[in-house]
Amino acid sequence: MSETTIAKEQTESTSTEETTMSDTTTDSARTDQDSDNDHIQIEGIQKTFDDGAIVACDDVNINIDKGEFVILVGPSGCGKTTTLRCIAGLEEPDKGEIRVGGNDITNLAPKDRNLAFVFQSIALFPHMSVRKNIRFGLDMNTDLKDDEKRRRVEEVAETLGLEEMLDRKPSSLSGGQQQRVSLGRAMVMEPEAFLLDEPFSALDANLRDEMRVEVKKIQRELNTAMVFVTHDQEEAMTLGDKIVVMNDGYVQQIGTPYEIYNDPTNRFVADFIGSPSPNLQKCTVERTDSGLVLSTDVFSVPATDEQAEHLKDRVGETLIYGIRPEYLTITDGDGDFTASLDVIEPLGDRDAIHLSADDMSFSAVTPQGELSRETERVQVNIQTEESWLFEQGGTRIV
Ligand code: ATP
């Protein structure tokens, strides 16, 4: 039984939740730039279930370079796992093409794709030693000489710090060590790419942090593409060279962690990435003697030159004003608005500050201990240069 055959035996998701195309998706958001180094090309993949009633993913286009760490991230049910399973060959797409190294593999059996799948649940054989677990795929799927198999297992065990544990049974290992064995089993196959589906979700928070660093180091060392599924935006930001944000079956944006964080293509991406979440408030475009301003019930701020350029024909319209918490600053002087301090949430080096003014809530981030619990009201300044504007439907304007 191969790694991928084991995958077929994993339980399938059977929810009948229906998905529809997000109205916030734009053409530019769904495409990925072609590059000469593209190793894996995913073009126009669609997968539906229940005779088309459930669209698990649609129009997915992703290019993956040889040594690239790509994260598929999005809320539960957005189609990440289905996309990954299409790449692995565990699902047959209704439409689209998948190429590896220029070869069309869309209709190849999973075992013929040379892609290694690492699962959410650690599927080790309890009666086999770590050594046998790691070399399992080599025994089942290759005609390599025994010496070569031994060499690969030992090399991988060394990379993963498992040398001392090769003769132990999985039950005597910690969760993190077991997940390492599972990675090792994929690594010995020397695949074209690793496909990982929430591999750390069963681990506790500290171990998860450790494994993230480890897997990123390993990926850098191997210089092999990894496609990693997670619903955790923080995991996506810390691991990815390239992040693919999905919602309702559609890719919303593809970019580096900084691009996704600083320059979201729509309201969904802005809201999904980053913690605390950005402030997103309805505002009206107004013309004053000193130029265009953006007005909410609580504050009125001048449009930046760039914003004004996009808004000159939109006076009177209602839009969404977006700003990350770190760009709201507490000031001693007169701010852009006054707010009540509701809650201080210590985050370590910073505090998340939750504020309210009229019926609106805001989050800000301040250095540790800057505000005391006794503080009742604060003056808040908005760093308008860092703000975004979205259509009410969610598409980014500027
Ligand atoms: P999660 O993080 O919860 O695993 P996901 O983003 O990976 O979610 P998918 O598992 O790809 O999402 O599922 C996308 C949609 O397709 C969901 O609505 C899901 O219920 C549906 N779906 C997935 N597999 C099947 C299946 N075999 N039969 C019917 N519906 C399915």
Percent of the chain scoring above 90 in pLDDT: 77
Q: What is the model's pLDDT at position 122?
A: 67
**Hey, which bits of 238-359 come out as E strands?**
242-247, 250-255, 279-288, 291-295, 300-302, 318-323, 328-331, 337-346, 350-357
pLDDT, tens digit, 9 for 90 and up, residues 254-288: 999 999 999 999 999 999 999 999 999 999 999 99
Contact 301, 285 (CB under 8 A): no
Does the Cβ of 51 fall within 6 Å of ligand 1? no
The pLDDT score that the predictor gives to residue 207 is: 81
Classify residue 172 as exposed, middle or buried by CB count within 10 Å of its CB (0-12, 13-18, 19+): exposed
What is the pLDDT of the chain when averaged over all its residues? 89
Looking at residue 32, what is its pLDDT?
A: 61
Which numeric CATH code is attached to 7-272? 3.40.50.300
Which of 307, 276, 275, 302 has its CA nearest to residue 291? 302
Query: In this model, does residue 110 exceed pLDDT 70?
Result: yes
What stretch of H or E contains 272? helix 267-272
Residue 4 Cβ < 6 Å to ligand 1: no
Atom number, ligand 1, closest to the C-alpha of residue 85: 11
CB of 375 within 6 A of ligand 1: the answer is no
Query: Is residue 3 within 8 Å of residue 137, measured between CB atoms?
Result: yes
Report the Cα 224 to chain-centroid distance in Å.
19
Q: Ligand 1 pocket: which of 8, 13, 14 to mutate (most atoms <8 Å of CB)?
A: 13
Ligand 1 probe mutation, 8, 82, 272, most atoms within 8 A of CB? 82
Three-state DSSP state, 199:
coil
Helix, strand, coil in percent for the chain, rounding step 5: 30, 35, 40
Cβ of residue 85 lying under 6 Å from some atom of ligand 1 = no
Q: What was the pLDDT predicted at 37?
A: 62
* pLDDT, tens only, 203-222: 788 888 888 888 899 899 99
Local confidence band at 202 (pLDDT 50, 70, 90 cut-offs): confident
Quick: pLDDT tens for 29-74. Answer: 444 655 556 799 999 999 999 999 999 999 999 999 999 999 999 9
> In the prediction, which pLDDT does 107 show?
93
Q: Which of 16-25, 174-183, 260-269, 310-319 has the lowest mean pLDDT?
A: 16-25
pLDDT tens column, 293-350: 999 999 999 999 999 999 999 999 999 999 999 999 999 999 999 999 999 999 999 9
* Whether residue 49 has its Cβ less than 6 Å from ligand 1: yes
Question: Which protein residue's CA is at the shortest distance from atom 9 of ligand 1?
Answer: 79
Give the CA distances from residue 243 to residues 79, 169, 239, 350, in Å, rounded to whole numbers and listed in that order.
15, 36, 9, 26
Question: How far away, in angstroms, is 274 Cα from ligand 1 center?
Answer: 24
Answer whether residue 25 shows pLDDT above 50: no
328 CA distance to ligand 1 centroid (A)? Answer: 38
Question: Residue 275 C-alpha to ligand 1 middle, in angstroms?
Answer: 25
Instruction: Tell whether ligand 1 has an atom less than 6 A from the beta carbon of residue 17.
Output: yes
Look at residue 28 and tell me whether its pLDDT is greater than 80: no
Residue spans per domain, the chain: 7-272, 280-390
Burial group, residue 289, by CB count within 10 angstroms (0-12, 13-18, 19+): exposed
- Give the residue, 176 or 40, on which the prediction is more confident: 40
Would the CB of 19 count as within 6 Å of ligand 1?
yes
User: Is the pLDDT assigned to residue 77 strictly greater than 70?
Assistant: yes
Q: Is 188 exposed, middle or buried (0-12, 13-18, 19+ CB in 10 A)?
A: buried
| Ligand 1 nearest-atom number relative to CA 57 | 14
CATH code for 280-390?
2.40.50.140
Q: Which atom of ligand 1 lies at the shortest distance from residue 82's CA?
A: 11
Mean pLDDT of 129-141: 93
Higher pLDDT, 388 or 37: 388
How does residue 161 score in pLDDT terms, banded at 50, 70 and 90?
Answer: confident
